Amino acid sequence: MTFEEHNLTVSSNGTLPGVPFLAIKEKVLGKKYELSIAFVTPKRAQTLNMAHRGKDYIPNTLSFALEKTSGEIILCMSALKKQYKAFDMDLHTYIVYILIHSMLHLMGMQHGSTMEDKEQQLLKHFTITSIPHETTHNRRY
């Protein structure tokens, strides 16, 4: 399934989760930013992680800034489904959180308290729950 609208393409071999992809993209990256989001298999996610980061595990997300105003986010749904409970979230909220996290990386943000504060602010905008800071430390993204 593929969704395309306003400088956003979201693709998956299965059903897309019901999250507000376009609203999140426009709030975090802006309306002019061109973003591609792809849900991939665990094998593909691990292959990309090894090729681009030299890390041999299945990541939940990978973010690739292509240019200043374009990028790509790779998501692995099976990894997300295995991890969301550890973050004390439901799956929907966790996907929104990981999308925000990935988009902040596309903007050049690095892990730390500034990024965590921004994640909290944005997550509150798109969900009714937020995550405690202590759950975000020392996690693989």
> Over the stretch 61-119, which tens digit does the pLDDT of each residue have?
999 999 999 999 999 999 999 999 999 999 999 999 999 999 999 999 999 999 999 99
Asked if 13 and 21 count as a contact pair (C-beta separation under 8 A), the reply is: no
Specify the DSSP class assigned to residue 17: P
pLDDT at 15 over 90: no
Rounded-to-10 torsion of CA 61, 65, 71, 73: 0
Q: Answer for the pair 133, 123: CB distance below 8 angstroms, yes or no.
A: no
CATH 3.40.390.30 fits 2-135, yes or no: yes
Q: Shortest CA distance to 121 belongs to which of 36, 108, 113?
A: 113
Q: Is the pLDDT of residue 130 over 50?
A: no
* pLDDT greater than 60 at residue 138: no
pLDDT in tens, 2-13: 777 889 999 998
Higher-pLDDT residue of 19 and 6 is 19
